[in-house]
Amino acid sequence: MTRRLAWAFVALAAILLAACAKAAYTNRSQFMIVSEGQEMALGLQSAQDVLKKEKESRDTLQVERIRRVGARIAAAANKPDYKWEFHLIEKDTVNAFCLPGGKVFFYTGILNLTTTNDELAAVMGHEVAHALLRHGGERMSAALAAQAGGQIGSIAIGASAGSAASQVFGQMYGIGAQVGVLLPHSRAQESEADEVGMILAAKAGYEPSGALSLWRKMDAWAKSKGQNTPGFLSTHPTTEDRIAAIQSKMGAIRAKYFQQAELR
């Protein structure tokens, strides 16, 4: 082992030891080497980029609806350091997301699937949960660690087998990291956001069963478009798995949070 490789291992070990965190609500252990401040700065920049490229909707009723539901979810989230904004983008895409720092974007295409405020709150809660749980920072941390691991492996092979073998290792490592670590972890994040999203919606006074009706609509919509993606190699759980998980947790969340909601 070369001195350079030894120092690389020492540096990586120090990073790993210092990178333990706990997820909000679920208390799941997280690997985190990206600070929340860094996440929020990236979120602000990304929000500005979206607003430069996309056209905002002028449908005042739907914009107000997004903001009203969003304000209640934001109050339930209790993140005073977030600068909350709620935007409706004029595009048929069925999508929504919340950037770190509280910049929330809905696309008009998803409104046909969120006809009730409970369903809208399910989407809002889910996307806000991703930000609260720092899933973006977690994925960035995993990617940085994977990159560091690949570099260490390249050093090891490069010391003995030349640059060609080193390049092959880097390519193989990238594939292994994508299939073996990043995608399954992202599916776990989606399930976690489903659970915490229902909690936020319930705390805000919305019926948590809105998540169930939402995903049943999503399932029907996806099948009508021929977009029933297999669960493996997908960043989302299968719809059937998702609905089953929501059903298994909905009763307890309703009893603990919805029935005691202060923002009814």
pLDDT-wise least confident of 69-73, 121-125, 234-238, 247-251: 234-238
138 is catalytic: no
d(CA 197, CA 182): 22
DSSP letter at 182? I
- 3-state SS record for the chain: CCHHHHHHHHHHHHHHHCCEEECCCCCCEEECCCCHHHHHHHHHHHHHHHHHHCCECCCHHHHHHHHHHHHHHHHHHCCCCCCCEEEEECCCCCCEEEECCCEEEEEHHHHHHCCCHHHHHHHHHHHHHHHHCCHHHHHHHHHHHHHHHHHHHHHHHHHHHHHHHHHHHHHHHHHHHHHHHHHHHHHHHHHHHHHHHHHHHHHCCCCCCHHHHHHHHHHHHHHHCCCCCCCCCCCCCCHHHHHHHHHHHHHHHHHHHHCCCCCC
Average pLDDT of the chain, as a whole number: 79
What integer pLDDT is reported at residue 240 of this predicted model? 86
d(CA 258, CA 249): 13
Q: What percentage of the chain reaches a pLDDT higher than 90?
A: 48
What integer pLDDT is reported at residue 170 of this predicted model? 43
Query: Among candidates 218, 188, 28, 4, which has minimal Cα distance to 119?
Result: 218
What integer pLDDT is reported at residue 237 of this predicted model? 75
CB-based burial of residue 183 (10 Å sphere; 0-12 exposed, 13-18 middle, 19+ buried)? middle
pLDDT of residue 168 exceeding 90, the answer is no
Q: Collapsing DSSP states into helix, strand and coil, what is residue 87?
A: strand
Q: Which residue has the higher pLDDT, 185 or 93?
A: 93
**What digits encode the pLDDT tens for the residues 50-109?**
999 999 999 999 999 999 999 999 999 999 999 999 999 999 999 999 998 999 999 999
- Work out the average pLDDT over 144-172: 50
Q: pTM of the full predicted structure?
A: 0.77
Which candidate in 39, 85, 119, 127 is catalytic?
A: 127
The number of CA neighbours under 13 Å toward the Cβ of 101 is 17
